[in-house]
A and B are shown apart, each in its own frame.
Chain A
């Protein structure tokens, strides 16, 4: 993905950025990797899910050395780091998975990791996806 200046500004405006960081890359900007991804670039566990019934449980962004910079290009790798089942508070099992996206700059530096915990629809009777 390319980190485009106009997209950075659009994202900042949507996130209420008003100060001196208006032209810098927002710490949540890499969610826009969604625009650069196609179904066949995803691992099977992340395809064909019912998006409207999914819930986002947690989200983390880690930047070991620096935030992304306007104008740079990343090679992104999407994987399922973890998949597990948890008992829901209201009974029934919840299916969770942790989607990891790694953002590597053109010089090979790992600039960012995005981890999303995604809660899938409740398991139907007799269904076992494990």
Chain B
């Protein structure tokens, strides 16, 4: 039902870290990342997770986003081009309300799945 693309840049990572308050240096300092056993700084996972949140909110702002959950499957790196998608998983009636469940995904340009997730959006009459 919705798609989006994001090219990961250091700027985007630092901007998200500043906005969120997660200043873990492995996401912006190559030296710290290497000392911790990574080839270099990698994307803070909550950045693509938050983009999935944006995707769902902008899809139908009139619905109530009751639940959103994501699972981090693999790391992403500066220079990656990430494809985000929300697809319809189920529609159910809950009394007078309609509950729409979406499946969420974030895939790297290599085809590797970086995140999966699901969201519940409630539409009230």
Contacts and interface: CB of A to CB of B under 8 A. Distances in A.
Contact of B57 (A14, A26, A64, A65): A26
Interface in A60-99: 60-67
B54 A15 contact: yes
Interface of A is mostly: mixed
A108 interface: no
A129 interface: no
Contacts of B87: none
Interface residues of A, number: 39
Nearest to A57: B72
Interface residues of B, number: 36
B99 to A, nearest CB: 13
A10 B19 contact: yes
Given A16-B54, A26-B50, A63 B20 contact: no
B15 A14 contact: yes
Interface in B25-78: 25-26, 32, 36, 45-47, 49-51, 53-54, 56-58, 61, 64-72
A14 B67 contact: no
A63 B69 contact: no
A60 B46 contact: no
B61 A20 contact: yes
A34 B20 contact: yes
Contacts of A63: 64-67
Contacts of A14: 12, 15-16, 18-20, 47, 50
Contacts of A32: 19-21
B66 A17 contact: no
A11 B47 CA distance: 10
A51 B29 CA distance: 14
A59 B49 contact: yes
A58 B15 CA distance: 22
A51 B69 CA distance: 22
A28 B70 CA distance: 11
A19 interface: yes
Interface of A: 7, 10-21, 24, 26-28, 31-32, 34-35, 51-67, 115
Interface of B: 4, 6, 12, 15-16, 18-22, 24-26, 32, 36, 45-47, 49-51, 53-54, 56-58, 61, 64-72
